[in-house]
Amino acid sequence: MEFMKVLVILVVVFHGSLSKPIGSEDELHVAVGQLERLVARLKQYVVDTNLPEYSMSGTGPWSESTPEFTRSLFHLRGLYDKRDPFSSNEIVKKLLKPYFGSFPNGPYKLELPLTSHNIVVMLDAWYNNGEQMMFKERTFHNVARELLSAHLQCATTRVDQIVFYVLKGQALAMTEDDQNMDTRLRKTLENWITDTATVKNVAQKIVLAAHRRTYGDIVDHIRYFQFKDIVEFLSKMKMLMWKAEQNKWSSVMFHEKLSQLLTDNDFAFKCPSMNNLWEFHQEIVSRVQERLSETKLVTETEVWLKEFLPTYITTRTTPAITAILHIYTDYIKSVRWHFEQMENHVTTRNAADITNFMSKFLTPHQLQYLQSIFEFLNTRDTSNVMQMESGKPKQHAFQE
């Protein structure tokens, strides 16, 4: 009976991802495979009737903290999130968007101006008011907003906002790469295509594909990257709220489960340290480097060109593909150069170097704001004092 109960929960939660068209047949196969493995795990769970229905401790064969469950849950939730405007990921993106729309301003803090007790008070009030149970999504949205608003007051988070602001400014310079590539492509394609309109159309499609393949979601990834753990925490909270309703927990049980969740995820109520900030930036750099692997991108583009070009070029396409890939290789190198300019400075842990680099893109008032944050962090966060003097030049990390 318990097995059927948990199975029904899973089916309901992920119904949105499997009852509607999936982006590709491969995604559907993966999702079905994940569900089959989860059912197998549930069968193990039902054998041990001593296991609690909802365990925060992560013990036993069916534990919500086991790597297998987490991978399965997050993959399936990823498919579900694409169509669910109330998913934790989508709510976080919506709430964070205004904060990353312009240069930050206002006071900043070293400690998060929000405690786990504040969250307990909000959710206990919701759960103890039977008439308000239907407003679960609204309550969750309010909690997420309070938590994220508090994090955006952290001094370290303000630095990330400024890094993103500068990167957005750099995006204009990066679009020049698209224009240069388009010009070179048109001139090259004229050797195989005589119609001017077709040449223009084909060149634009190649540039668009190249831009999408090269950049992907890099900018958005940088914007939300440091909040990935917060998203995971909020997802667990939302699941707990949903289970509380479905299983009709008592108010005391809900309070206990919620308190344990908050205790297990106390990081959500702390401002990132300077070390956290450098780790965020270094991991972003690693992701960008992986994304901009020249060999990988050229190979993927070559496969795509072999399918795309025969529609417009009736002769042998190999010479055209070779010429296009040469242009695309130069494009990748230019994109990497732009990101290297950011990488070589934002990961130095050197406030003077970072400030000097940022000065090229910020107004005097904005630059003063950044300097004041670094000074504040250097004097307050004594456990993570940053370098305030020039350091040794950093070597390019992009190596094939």
42 and 171, same domain (yes or no): no
**Lookup: tokens for 230:** 């917060």
Tens digits of per-residue pLDDT, 300-329? 999 999 999 999 998 999 999 999 999 999
Measured CA to CA, the distance from residue 27 to residue 33 in angstroms comes to: 10
Number of domains present in the structure of the chain = 2
Q: Evaluate whether residue 80 is within a structural domain.
A: yes
Which of the listed residues 21, 50, 84 is the one where a domain comes to its end?
A: 84
Whether 242 maps to a domain, the answer reads no
Q: How many CB atoms lie within 10 A of CB 281?
A: 24
Identify any residues that bridge with 350 across adjacent strands, giving them in sequence order: 387
Is 346 found in the same domain as 200? Answer: yes
Q: Place 89 in a pLDDT band, splitting at 50, 70 and 90.
A: confident
User: Bridge partners of 109?
Assistant: 154
Q: What is the b/e burial string over 356-392, where b = at least 16 CB atoms within 10 angstroms of the residue's CB?
A: ebbeeebeeebbebbbebbebbbeebeebebeeeeee
Q: What is the pTM of this model?
A: 0.65
- For 193-201, the CB contacts below 8 A with 24+ separation are 193/312, 193/313, 198/312
The answer on pLDDT for 156 being more than 60 is yes
Domain that holds residue 43: 1-84
Residues 78 and 174 in one domain: no
Q: Exposed/middle/buried for 154, CB within 10 Å: 0-12, 13-18, 19+?
A: buried
Same domain, 215 and 298: yes
Measured CA to CA, the distance from residue 255 to residue 112 in angstroms comes to: 23
Question: Residue 194 has which token pair?
Answer: 């005589």
Q: Which one has a higher pLDDT value, 98 or 66?
A: 98
Ranges 34-48, 116-130, 229-243, 308-322: which has the least confidence = 34-48
Residue 6 lies in a domain: yes
pLDDT in tens, 118-145: 999 999 999 988 666 668 888 999 999 9
Please indicate, yes or no, if residue 167 is contained in any of the structural domains: yes
Helix, strand, coil percentages in the chain from 3-state DSSP, rounded to 5: 75, 0, 25
128 close to 251: Cβ distance less than 8 angstroms: yes
Residues 148, 44: Cα–Cα separation, whole Å: 38
Of 36, 67, 84, which residue is a domain's last?
Answer: 84
Specify if 249 maps to a domain: no
Q: Tell me, what DSSP letter sits at residue 154? A: B
Residue 142 included in any domain:
no
24, 49, 84 - which closes a domain: 84
Is 93 part of any domain?
no
| 77 lies in the same domain as 184 | no
pLDDT band at 349 (very low <50, low <70, confident <90, very high): confident
Q: Is 124 part of any domain?
A: no
